[in-house]
Amino acid sequence: MGDYTNMSGYYDLIMTSGYYDYDKIVDSLVEHLPFSNVLEIGCGTGLILETLAKRQPKVSLTGIDLTQAMLAIAQQRLQSHKQVQLQNQNVTQLHLNQAYDLAFSYGGVWYFVMDGDKEPFLVSHIAQEEPNRQGLAKVAEHVKSGGQLLLGVQGPHHDYASPISNGMMYSQKIEPSEHGFTKHYFLADGDKTLMAQTIQYRTYSFAQALALLKGFGFTYQAFTGDKPQFLTFHKS
């Protein structure tokens, strides 16, 4: 499973060095207003929830994540935002006492990769087939009929090494695997490796992904214009 414990202490530093653009992500979420409650699946250290909470102080926000070390940082970050609830849960066993107008995942659990004109494909942090189905069934139970599921869009993954804002070197290496790929993440300070993390991802072709999601009541809504931040699915 996509456990982020090793990366947790360095996550914010890497992400806010330009890996993700949180303002742009939240710009795209608020385009889906009106909503009164929102669930983030795989909220990590809470960077999206913080930006969203500041911009939508009346909306009730819930974040779930499998990795307690990531959530501990989110708890710290969000303690003054009483509208935000955080829960240490695996999406495959998701159990919350409410259904949401909007659920989303960005870089966490499920996301789409888009590479120019090529067909997008779905990436899952869950490496096995059956738990992916369990997770989507649980998400479906937690999205209101008429509500929406948004899955983040990222560019293609490739091997690279690049310095982050404090001069440390972030690098990643990708290897194909039977049902997807394996991604190795590293952070080094000079010769010293500070962080190493390996995650196994499962991938689905676009057609497989749409069929999978449709099986849980999520119908794809085609986008227009440039590469979006999220693909949108309507819950029947």
Ligand X SMILES: C[S@@+](CC[C@H](N)C(=O)[O-])C[C@H]1O[C@@H](n2cnc3c(N)ncnc32)[C@H](O)[C@@H]1O
Question: Which parts of this chain interact with ligand X (CB under 6 A)?
Answer: 1-2, 4, 15, 20, 42-44, 47-48, 64-67, 70, 90-92, 106-109, 125-126
Give yes or no for a contact between 182 and 174, defined as CB atoms under 8 angstroms apart: yes
Nearer to ligand X, 67 or 229 (CB): 67
Nearer to ligand X, 109 or 168 (CB): 109
Tell me how far, at minimum, the Cβ of 202 lies from ligand X, in Å: 11
- Shortest-Cβ-distance residue relative to ligand X: 44
Tell me how far, at minimum, the Cβ of 13 lies from ligand X, in Å: 12
Nearer to ligand X, 127 or 168 (CB): 127
Tell me how far, at minimum, the Cβ of 89 lies from ligand X, in Å: 6
Tell me how far, at minimum, the Cβ of 131 lies from ligand X, in Å: 8
Nearer to ligand X, 106 or 218 (CB): 106
